[in-house]
Structure 1
Amino acid sequence: MHISEQIVLVTGASRGLGAAIARAFLDSGARVVVNYLNSAGPAHDLAATAGAGRAVALQADVTDPGQVAAMLATAQDHFGAPVTTVVNNALAGFSFNGDARSKAGELSWEELHAQFSGTVRGALNTVQQALPGMRRAGFGRVVNIGTNLFQNPVVPYHDYTAAKAALLSLTRTLAVDLGPENITVNMVSGGLLRTTDASSATPEEVFDLIASSTPLRRITTPAEMADAALFFASPWGRCVTGQNLVVDGGLVMN
């Protein structure tokens, strides 16, 4: 199915990387559900730029399966067809500032639980609630947003990194389970992005250090991460599933 025929749910799409992914799908002709939790204004503004009813901004807490189900039902009513493509981008509140994160001796289970709930439970809810529509369409694409930190843990983001590593395992088990139904499940893992709300607290010298360590000598942008999500949803990615594509300028090489 061409991207222009897909109905795409992007979670956490009001700002930052999520907004870049939503715009990329809209620019490719898709119809898009711009999910948000608190940032109603930016989400509705983004949806309004699409015109002709090609985007709808819908509030839902992705950790709540009931809210996710209601969001998908509203999206189907709006577009007249089910969501075929899910991009799991929503992130529990997090600041990418290593100095402010809990170290090993301070880390609490509550911090881990918050990240697992937002990352793993959120992705599980969206996939499960979208599955009936994907099955009716005979087509499905799931793109999970990961991180290169579980391959290169240079900063002590214990809770965030552990949750994203678990999401990669879920990505691969879902890929095996859903592959016979023409549903692919993949992950796009970035490094530090320049610049999103989550990375706004990152010191400039950290950006410079990471950039100098990459073959491309620069920091990845949200738009470049969005390009990889488009690939997995496009016909060019039709035989790719269970994979983790690292988009970080070559800092981490598989």
Structure 2
Amino acid sequence: MEVGKQTVLVTGASRGLGAAIATAFAKEGANVVVNYFKSKEKAEELVKALGDNAIAIQADVRDRDQVNEMAAKAKEHFNTPVTTVVNNALVDFQFNPVTQKNVFELDWGKFNTQFEGSIKGALNTVQACVADMKEQGFGRIINIGTNLVQNPVVAYHEYTTGKAALLGFTRNLAKELGQYGITVNMISGGLLKQTDASSVTSEEVFGIIESATPLQKVTSPEELADTALFFASPWSRAVTGQNLVVDGGLVMD
């Protein structure tokens, strides 16, 4: 299915990377669901900018009932079910090496927050949409990961472990859902310049990344969003269960 004919749910889409992904799909003519949790004003501003083929819907991805309701609202609004899910939502985390707890201070509750945001959130969106995908014989599930799994330059324990678990979930889903024409892939960016989560990152750190990266630049949210288009497009029809690192070559996996 061409990207312009798809109905795309992007979680955590009111700002940062999620907004860039929603914008990229809207530009291709797709129907776009801009999911948000708290940032109602930003989500509505984005939808206004994207036009008639976008709708903002509030839902906590950790709440199965709310996610089911969001999928139903999207289906009713666009008169077509969700074909494509981008699991992007990030729950209560910033990339701040100064405030990050070390292994001696870690609290299990912080791990649980990231597991619920990454795994439970993805499970809820998949379960809300997969029946319609199966019926159509087409679906695209795109999970957002991190290159910290391959190269933990800063020990963001709970965030990185949650994303590592999401990679395992990605590959298990790919194995199970492929028979129905549904592909499942992951995009693992590096530190992006700039999102709310990376707003506390110093220019010195960005400079270090630039100097160590073959392309000599920090990846932008818009550049990573282009990869989401690839995984949703017919060009990736034979690709599933993959983790594509999009960071300018900093990590070569």
State the alpha-carbon separation in 1 of the partners of residues 176 and 137 from structure 2: 15
Number of the residue aligned with 1:202: 201
In structure 2, give the amino acid aligned to 1:185. Answer: V
Tell me, yes or no, if structure 1 residue 94 matches structure 2 residue 93: yes
Unaligned stretches of 5+ residues in structure 2? none
Partner secondary structure for residue 149 of structure 1: helix
In structure 2, give the amino acid aligned to 1:39. Answer: S
Number of the residue aligned with 1:29: 29
State the alpha-carbon separation in 1 of the partners of residues 194 and 49 from structure 2: 22
Number of the residue aligned with 1:82: 81
Q: Percent same amino acid at aligned positions?
A: 61
In structure 1, give the amino acid aligned to 2:196. Answer: D
Number of the residue aligned with 1:233: 232
Question: C-alpha displacement at 1:47, in angstroms?
Answer: 1.1
Q: How many residues align?
A: 253
Residues 129-167 of structure 1: CA distance to partner in whole angstroms, max 9, x if unpaired? Answer: 111111222210000000000100110100000000000
Residues 166-214 of structure 1: CA distance to partner in whole angstroms, max 9, x if unpaired? Answer: 0000000000000000000000000000011100001110000011000
State the alpha-carbon separation in 1 of the partners of residues 106 and 158 from structure 2: 8
Output the TM-score relative to the length of structure 2. Answer: 0.99
Number of the residue aligned with 1:38: 38
Question: C-alpha displacement at 1:50, in angstroms?
Answer: 2.5
Partner secondary structure for residue 114 of structure 1: helix
State the alpha-carbon separation in 2 of the partners of residues 80 and 145 from structure 1: 27
State the alpha-carbon separation in 1 of the partners of residues 50 and 147 from structure 2: 32
Number of the residue aligned with 2:169: 170
Residues 12-50 of structure 1: CA distance to partner in whole angstroms, max 9, x if unpaired? Answer: 000000000000000111000000000001111111223
Number of the residue aligned with 1:3: 3
Partner secondary structure for residue 60 of structure 2: coil
Partner secondary structure for residue 198 of structure 1: coil
* Pairing of 1:71-150 with structure 2 (within 5 A): 71-150=70-149
In structure 2, give the amino acid aligned to 1:6. Answer: Q
State the alpha-carbon separation in 2 of the partners of residues 75 and 196 from structure 1: 26
In structure 2, give the amino acid aligned to 1:31. Answer: N
Unaligned stretches of 5+ residues in structure 1? none
Residues 77-132 of structure 1: CA distance to partner in whole angstroms, max 9, x if unpaired? Answer: 10001000000000111111111111010111101000000111101100111111
Partner secondary structure for residue 205 of structure 1: helix
Output the TM-score relative to the length of structure 1. Answer: 0.99
Number of the residue aligned with 2:17: 17
